[in-house]
Structure 1
């Protein structure tokens, strides 16, 4: 790897680095509590990031391993904000992820669009038997490398297929903006991380590629593509219509939606709601599973600036299942059986 992109501490600095990591673990432990206080959340987050960037500079590729109590291992880039959060145990959407995973059964056909280092893809595969499968799509070269590595290190190659291409509304090519932090790369420059380069890559619609993979319908799809979720939905109209048991989990982030993308997403959501799909989000402060009755309401995001929107057929067994799983997870968390995001892992040293 490029020596300018690797963060390799000297032998003499190891003890000092260990001490700093311990301090950072302690500060990350209190991050979820700080997020509950509006006046404290932003300054505490900024303080924590400034502190850890002294040890893990943003954009300096530094691959570390995280071992979960479940036995899964993930390699992440701690020079990336999402990877560094995960390394120190703060996975902001851990509760939402458990909700998504709880909706899977042993035979589920799962798509992970915008897979990054593969947390959803790998975790989903652990729920499946040989009759189920996961297809993970990640166009960022650095993130795709980690995705493949994490599938392989967990011996899930028979269940997870990785695809290094972009998913959009139609087949062709698209500009792709690679940023210092791969989590913010996408089909447009989100300005949320320093731009490294713009490349041209293949883009495929799900309606086009899934028949080539031998799939006519799917059971679950997670979409996180930095504001272009509407494009993925527009390219999956036929697939969605053929998938009556489908659960869609998609990020809706105000930070990624300019006027054009907001209007495009609204149009996509109107189409889904016209097919009798309805949305749910896990709202925060306090946490509650909230029904989203209209497409317009889906873009208000409750009390958050971003949320994962769950979509499924209104009145279906899926909705009842979602409610049941949510209440089970909430009960476990209230009784401290569901580990909080900041302590759900064991980091390899």
Structure 2
């Protein structure tokens, strides 16, 4: 691990060591710095909740939020990359503090590690605080060019801090991915991370929303002046708007593009994968936590794969005959 600076290692700072595993070896070693007292409180709450019902961490964090004062902790990766997150954010503190050793989306991490030596541009659609934008632009994953697309103004502040902390090595676009470009939409950030979503109709707006303009993946590619010869990897996690986002990627999907998307376990109709199969006519590959890749032959396969209704499952698709199709088909054939 790199040594922490004297600023990081002051008396008020505690450290939590973590390790991520990829392809049978440790790859993303990291340490977490922050207030020792606050991190200890969060860790204690996770332990207590896990030993009781296993539920209610959100309520517990809301109860102690005034004590945390929106404090930031920082994940220090081995190559010097840094990722800041709010200590009271249950979604992120569960991975970095509450459950040491838990790997964040190892299926995507393994796939991107395999792409380390392949040149591509990365669209981090639904970037949140920029986890994948930080890693894809790091030495660990080959220093790719990345654009982080995020709809939430509240999240944008931390996303910008993570960009600044990593030498401005990725760009930020505050837009909502949609099937049409330049539409006025609303982003609802009321409730936990999993409840945030885009609202397309003003009449159906929840009480707490903020306006945001839409952008299509095709328009984003044009804005970045990508050519037909540029490879593109899109990570698509846009809280239920995956189908709308795919509808706005018609031109991009005629090129050498790999789209990694989420199909949630709660959706037993498999709407996103159904659209990829039936409307787009594209092949689908399932990504597993152990790093394996399997070709999905039909929707019935998802009935067997998506066993937990509380989590999202990651899949990949690409145009048949493209370079990415040959590449991922080769991986799947080895399974």
Q: Which has the higher contact order (CA 8 A, sep 6+)?
A: 1
Structure 1 counterpart of 2:307: 303
CA–CA distance in structure 2, aligned partners of residues 240 and 73 of structure 1: 33
CA–CA distance in structure 2, aligned partners of residues 323 and 77 of structure 1: 41
- For 1:144-163, list aligned pairs within 5 A: 144-155=156-167, 157=168, 159-163=169-173
CA–CA distance in structure 1, aligned partners of residues 239 and 68 of structure 2: 18
Aligned counterpart for 2:174 among listed residues 152, 159, 164: 164
Structure 2 counterpart of 1:141: 153
SS of residue in 2 equivalent to 1:226: coil
**Which moves more between the two structures, 72-81 or 52-61?**
52-61
Cα distance 1:293–1:59, how it changes in 2: closer, same or farther (>3 A)? farther
- For 1:1-349, list aligned pairs within 5 A: 17=38, 19-21=40-42, 23-24=44-45, 27=47, 44-46=53-55, 54-56=63-65, 61-88=70-97, 90=99, 93-106=104-117, 107-126=119-138, 127-129=141-143, 132-155=144-167, 157=168, 159-171=169-181, 172-182=183-193, 184-188=195-199, 197-216=208-227, 217-243=230-256, 246-255=257-266, 257=267, 263=271, 266-272=274-280, 274-275=281-282, 277-282=283-288, 289-295=293-299, 297-298=301-302, 301-305=305-309, 306-312=312-318, 316-321=326-331
CA–CA distance in structure 2, aligned partners of residues 236 and 66 of structure 1: 33
**1:289 Cα deviation after fit:** 4.6
Structure 1 counterpart of 2:9: none
SS of residue in 2 equivalent to 1:308: strand
**1:57 Cα deviation after fit:** 7.0
CA–CA distance in structure 2, aligned partners of residues 226 and 87 of structure 1: 22
Aligned 8 A contact 2:177 2:245 in 1: yes
Cα distance 1:308–1:56, how it changes in 2: closer, same or farther (>3 A)? farther
CA–CA distance in structure 2, aligned partners of residues 115 and 280 of structure 1: 21
CA–CA distance in structure 1, aligned partners of residues 176 and 247 of structure 2: 14
**1:264 Cα deviation after fit:** 6.4
- Contiguous gaps of at least 5 residues in structure 2: 1-34, 201-205
State the TM-score, normalized to the length of structure 2. 0.70
**1:68 Cα deviation after fit:** 3.1
State the TM-score, normalized to the length of structure 1. 0.68
**Which moves more between the two structures, 61-70 or 198-207?**
61-70
CA–CA distance in structure 1, aligned partners of residues 77 and 122 of structure 2: 22
CA–CA distance in structure 2, aligned partners of residues 109 and 269 of structure 1: 25
Superposed CA offset, 1:241-285 (max 9, x none): 112xx3221111144x597xx55662244234x24x22213169x
Superposed CA offset, 1:301-327 (max 9, x none): 432332111224666222334677xx8
CA–CA distance in structure 2, aligned partners of residues 59 and 232 of structure 1: 36
Superposed CA offset, 1:127-184 (max 9, x none): 334xx411110010121211111111021x2x41110111110112222212244553
Cα distance 1:58–1:139, how it changes in 2: closer, same or farther (>3 A)? farther
**1:78 Cα deviation after fit:** 2.7
After superposing on structure 2, the runs of 4+ consecutive aligned residues of structure 1 that deviate more than 6 Å are: 57-60
Cα distance 1:118–1:293, how it changes in 2: closer, same or farther (>3 A)? same
**Which moves more between the two structures, 15-24 or 212-221?**
15-24
- Contiguous gaps of at least 5 residues in structure 1: 1-13, 32-39, 190-194, 328-349
Equivalenced residues, count? 282
